[in-house]
Structure 1
Amino acid sequence: MQNAAPIKILSLAALMALGLAACGERYPADIRGSLEQAKESALEVGVSDAAPWISWNDGAPTGVEADIIRALAEREGLKIDWIRGEEAELLESLKGGDLHLVAGGLTKASPWKKHVSLSAPISTCHVYAGLAGPGAVSIAEDELKSMTLEVERASGLAHKAEKKDYTITRVDKLTEDSSGAIAEEFTLKEHGLTPTGEPLMKTTHVLALPHGENALYAALTRSLPARPGCRPMQEQPS
């Protein structure tokens, strides 16, 4: 009698599997059939400029995310239809099922995660406070917190930095004149700033796809690195 419940559960699972097989269903499956649509016509990818993740050069997207999407297309035998636009309008189209993917430097903290699905990580980077000048490395945390550091609005880091008691000013873009900032390590180095102390946090970069498109999600995941590091750091000259 003790084995009755497991036998019932196993029988139910077997019946479900047989039922799916009889109906010709595959798992994972897409609610809207995105992967099959892409195979029949093209993978429709919305692109919002966000270097070094993805940006337009000579009429075509380049960057970390463009390389990943091309790897997905090659693996699945897909053509790609790149559609350039603003992040919000592209994600709205994705939400409505008019696109298959959106690439634009999105992170796991994106407020759009309530409306669209986010991929497995494509890259994970550390965030530091960074200062200009060779003596920046030896500055204490309390001294850093007494300074006003720049944070790019689009980075999504401002609120998290304030929660850690850093004094910040929001800017559209860091410039070569920036004397101090909080940003991902590669961004600081690009602007001549030296990362100081320990990492403040991590950022996990992702691609976006419509809710419920499980076959497309699985195909994309197969094209991602098993242990994603910070791709821009890996590609910077040493």
Structure 2
Amino acid sequence: MQTRQSEQEPRSSGWGWVGSLLIVALLTLVGCGFPNDIEHTTEKVRGGVLNVGLAENPPWVIRTNTGPVGLEPEIIRAFAEELEAEVEWHWDSDSNLLAALHHGQLDLVASGFTRNSRLNKFAASTKPYYSSRYNVGVPESADLPASLENLEIAIHPVNHFSKALRDEGARPVETRNLADTDGAVAAPSWWLRAHGFEPGSWQLASDKHVMALPKGENAWMMAMQRHLNEYDDIGQRLQQWEAER
């Protein structure tokens, strides 16, 4: 009996050691499964104040005498309502706002941002919630051309798709007031529809739109992303805001 007992003791001790390791590993995995905020942004904003930085960029963000309007203020107000938070708006240039975000003075910055390396230097960007596709359109009363070859197309002087047009054989013409053009225009599809143009099938470029949040606030990022994912009609909203300007 004594021999049997001595053989069992190491076995019991061994299982205790292995069991402890398993418990520690399990707790570690469980802990890693929950996103955390380094600065507890979600806790501070919920039922409190949401500090938002805005830089004007119609129709994404429009500044008026009665407060901000446009696509992103509309989205942010709905988000704040979910969190039972009051919104405080802060206007400035996007560079100053991103610096303030980086130093913890803001909870969110919106300006119709597109995903880029400059933004990522100062902020954590959401996943793209909408992609603006640049296309060629003609007035709704006109027929779409079969080809862009040798076609004059009005474009804004500041753009990133002139080469794509020239590659199609088109002749880009810089024009500041695109809405008054009576011929072909290259612009985002939502802009074309808002101004009475029928988009064709030529995709020249695309911009992936994001919002800027503080780095390290993972739970806050998840909450914002979940809210953005609820919108499946961004193109229609942009078209409406642009048409009403």
TM-score bin, normalised by smaller chain: 0.7 to 0.9
Larger Rg: 2
Residue 50 of structure 1: CA displacement?
Answer: 1.8
Match of 1:33 in 2: 40
What amino acid is the match of 1:81? E
Which segment is superposed worse, 28-37 or 77-86? 28-37
Task: Give secondary structure in 1 for the equivalent of 2:56.
Answer: coil
Task: Give the root-mean-square deviation of aligned CA atoms.
Answer: 3.4
Which segment is superposed worse, 76-85 or 127-136? 127-136
Distance 1:33 1:135, change over 3 A: same
2:156 equivalent to 1:151: yes
Distance 1:137 1:11, change over 3 A: farther
CA contact (8 A) 1:45 1:80 kept: yes
Tell me, which stretches of 5 or more residues in structure 1 are unaligned? 1-6
2:229 equivalent to 1:225: yes
CA contact (8 A) 1:53 1:63 kept: yes
How far, CA to CA, are the matches of 2:65 and 2:93 in structure 1? 19
TM-score by length of 2: 0.72
Please list the CA deviations of residues 163-192 of structure 1 after superposition, one character each: whole Å capped at 9, or x if unmatched.
Answer: 563664666664424754321112123344
CA contact (8 A) 2:61 2:71 kept: yes
2:169 equivalent to 1:162: no
Distance 1:131 1:89, change over 3 A: farther
Task: Give secondary structure in 1 for the equivalent of 2:85.
Answer: coil
Aligned residues: 220
CA contact (8 A) 1:124 1:229 kept: no
- Which residues in structure 2 correspond to 1:1-238 (within 5 Å)? 13-17=25-29, 20=31, 27-39=34-46, 41-109=48-116, 111-132=118-139, 134-135=141-142, 137-144=144-151, 147=152, 149-151=154-156, 153=158, 158-163=159-164, 165=167, 168=172, 174-177=178-181, 179-226=183-230, 228-232=232-236, 236=240
More strand by share: 1
Tell me, which stretches of 5 or more residues in structure 2 are unaligned? 1-18
Identity %, equivalent residues: 27
